[in-house]
Structure 1
Amino acid sequence: MHIIKLDAIDSTNTFLRHLSSEKTVEDYTVVVANSQTKGRGQMGTVWNSQPNKNLMVSVFIDVSFLKIENSFYISMATSLAISNALKAFQIKPVKVKWPNDILADQKKISGVLIENVIKNNQLQASIIGFGLNVNQTYFEQLPSATSMHMVSGKVYHLDEVLLSVIEQLRYYIDILKTGDFQKVKDLYESELFRNNKPSTFKDVKGVLFTGIIKGVSNSGYLQVLIEDEILKEFDLKEVKLLY
């Protein structure tokens, strides 16, 4: 594992993507920044973080063993890695809000942005970016955010937390390498926030509806049981879980 530490950068994902396009990058190359000026999240959102308080990380992983249609398993593995690392530090309760937000005590503690490198319609590598709130104690205008310190009252060593997440990530990627996709999927679904509970959703038209999360498809679609016992699948752009 090769770790590159940066003081300030626009985006660790952007840095690592450019680096990998210019030269051969070692598997599990990790880029860590003390601060990001243009940290990105899912759907074009911005990831804000106080300098030197949290983890802002990108990891380069060779995923050429996976088919494109199985690329969501990278997201599952990443979610499980962060979730398990948090539990190892006694952060509870932890859940995964589909597709890959990590919640602690029902507040967001981590976000993930995965960018895959594809050549000739084949997966080559994955740049896994994640922000993990560690020691920050205040989030301006973000009442639904939390940190490891806010949950436990403890101050954490950033490098120790980072190595724990990477160790867990390697563990779950290795499971995928064996072809045991079902194991990863079962574990991921067991961690899903509001799984098997009546929940309220909002569709792209702003219409609210109720349903019960039953799991995810192999390609990452959220499976929701709606009225008349219909199991419907939604992608990220089609539905938002409210509560």
Structure 2
Amino acid sequence: MRKTSRIGDVIIELSEIDSTNNYAMKLVNEGMAEHGLVVRADWQTAGRGQLGNSWISEESKNLLLSLVIDSSGFAIEKQYLLNAMTCVALGEMVMSEYQVANISIKWPNDIYAGNRKISGILIENIIRGQIWSHAIVGIGLNVNQQKFADLNRATSLYNETGKAFKTNMVGKRLMKFLNEAYERLLKNEDQLFMDYNKLLYGYNQAITLKKNNELMTGIMRGVSEQGLLEIEFDKKIRQFKHKEIDILIS
């Protein structure tokens, strides 16, 4: 599947919106959004994270955007591939463009610098019948925010580098990495997933997990294409769904 439009060819810039995902979703439902459309806002009044968690951001300090992906050519059971693509693009950009060390993906969709969260992703899918029609990929990247009073273990590009950045320029650089990762996805899904797994926090190492208030130790063996976490206990692999288990980052 190859689309003529690249991610970020068309960008809608907003000063304030409740949620860029909501705005992009409305455009898709009205038939007004093509593949690759990006909606970016200086501030979200009701930004959302995974499973309804709020995304707290100071006005004009961070990169807040949503992109529209025409996913109709992908198998409906492979929805997690877009999450892998986005995580890889973010992780690779933060490492190579901003030289932030110790970047990892905390399963399923958070980017960490050391033990502090620097970025998060929220993907909302549109299913029509048996067709995975579109995906709205919401991205929040902490850029210039320095204090995170209401969030534990958060950081930003500024906090990690000591430098301030123009959020629109960070966004342009991200478009480059998103397009490269998307091309990788189209050409070789297995390679993209290998790149994703290599960036996973604790990959092929012993990690501590929490399930129903019980702590467990196992070896992180990666994530399946369906997005299931694979942990080895006593030489046997167990799979876990999101929110079934939590990875503890020390």
Give the TM-score band, short-chain normalised. over 0.9
Counterpart of 2:142, as a letter, is N
- Alignment-derived partner of residue 19 in structure 2: 11
Q: Distance in 2 between matches of 1:160 and 1:89?
A: 12
- Alignment-derived partner of residue 213 in structure 1: 220
The share of aligned pairs that are identical, in percent, is 37
Residue 24 of structure 1 deviates from its aligned partner by 3.2
1:95 and 1:106 in contact (8 A); partners too: no
1:199 counterpart = 2:200: no
Q: Distance in 1 between matches of 2:44 and 2:150?
A: 19
Range with greater deviation from structure 2 (184-193 or 120-129): 120-129
Q: Distance in 2 between matches of 1:83 and 1:163?
A: 15
- Alignment-derived partner of residue 239 in structure 1: 245
Counterpart of 1:105, as a letter, is G
SS at match of 1:9: coil
SS at match of 1:155: coil
Q: TM-score, normalised by structure 2?
A: 0.93
Counterpart of 2:22, as a letter, is T
Equivalent residue pairs, number: 240
* Match of residue 49, structure 1, among 49, 57, 67: 57
Counterpart of 2:150, as a letter, is Q
Specify whether residues 143 and 24 from structure 1 end up closer, same or farther in structure 2 by C-alpha distance, changes over 3 A only: closer
Counterpart of 1:50, as a letter, is E
Counterpart of 1:185, as a letter, is F
Q: Distance in 1 between matches of 2:113 and 2:216?
A: 25
1:85 and 1:161 in contact (8 A); partners too: no
Q: Distance in 1 between matches of 2:46 and 2:82?
A: 23
Residue 237 of structure 1 deviates from its aligned partner by 2.2
Q: Distance in 2 between matches of 1:142 and 1:125?
A: 31
Counterpart of 1:241, as a letter, is I
SS at match of 2:16: strand
1:32 counterpart = 2:40: yes
Q: Distance in 2 between matches of 1:97 and 1:126?
A: 21
Q: TM-score, normalised by structure 1?
A: 0.95
- Alignment-derived partner of residue 3 in structure 2: none
* Match of residue 222, structure 1, among 212, 224, 229: 229
- Alignment-derived partner of residue 170 in structure 1: 179
Counterpart of 2:111, as a letter, is I
1:54 and 1:135 in contact (8 A); partners too: yes
Residue 218 of structure 1 deviates from its aligned partner by 1.4
CA RMSD, Structure 1 to Structure 2 (Å): 1.1
Unaligned runs of 5+ in 2: 1-8
Residue 8 of structure 1 deviates from its aligned partner by 1.1
* Match of residue 170, structure 2, among 161, 168, 174: 161
Counterpart of 1:239, as a letter, is I
- Alignment-derived partner of residue 119 in structure 2: 110
